[in-house]
Amino acid sequence: MKLYPICLRSIFTLFILLAGGCFSPPAKEPVVQEPEVSGPGVEEAQVKEPSAGVSAAEAKREEQLPLAADFKLPDLRLSPVTLSAYKNKQPVLLFFWTTWCPFCGRELKELNVKYKSLADRGLEILAINVGEPAYRVNSFIKNQGLSFKIVLDEDARVAGSYGIMGIPAFILVDKKGRIIFTDYYFSKREIEDLISK
């Protein structure tokens, strides 16, 4: 009798809805890439002076922010997209999502509405689909008219390297490649405050 799997699926779906979010599949062997440091004088301690208009305490806090792991993922046209391409150019909002998560669909629509104003402020959005094949993602977004890039993390390695435990998830990376915001909720006001700094 096939009632048992249907019952389990229903219970699981109810649990997801009651828990207030969706959960991503476990990542396989997370890959965390450390920033490469090379060149003359690497062995010497590097002392950085605070930038003009930045207090010493604020400069120290900025130095303690974690660096975002670089990645290379295909977009829907299978062209490679790397996080490092945005370094020293503009901040990037990483949005981790799946097609089966109802909250993710709502957030995609909300991000699309907000994208123009965020892009005008210099922010790029990379919507990273976690653990799904390209054909499923293409089918899902075909008629949505999204303005930002969709990239594919089919084996969930990038999500794992960022410690993503549930979806939807948002990570804001500043121009210097540091993670300055991580949450499971998108606050346009908070993001705008962070990118204006």
- Divide the 197 residues of the chain into consecutive groups of 10 and give the mean pLDDT of each group: 45 41 44 39 38 57 84 96 96 96 94 92 96 95 91 97 95 94 80 67
Q: pLDDT value at position 108? A: 94
Q: Report the 3 state secondary structure along the chain.
A: CCHHHHHHHHHHHHHHHHHCCECCCCCCCCCCCCCCCCCCCCCCCCCCCCCCCCCHHHHHHHHHCCECCCCEEEECCCCEEEHHHHCCCCCEEEEEECCCCHHHHHHHHHHHHHHHHHHHCCCEEEEEEECCCHHHHHHHHCCCCCCCEEEEECCCHHHHHCCCCCECEEEEECCCCEEEEEECCCCHHHHHHHHHC
Q: pLDDT value at position 58? A: 57
Q: pLDDT value at position 81? A: 98
Q: pLDDT value at position 143? A: 82
Q: How far is CA 137 from the centre of its chain?
A: 17
Q: pLDDT value at position 186? A: 72
Q: pLDDT value at position 35? A: 37
pTM score: 0.70
22-30+62-196 in CATH: which number?
3.40.30.10
Q: pLDDT value at position 64? A: 78
Q: Please state the domain extents for the chain.
A: 22-30+62-196
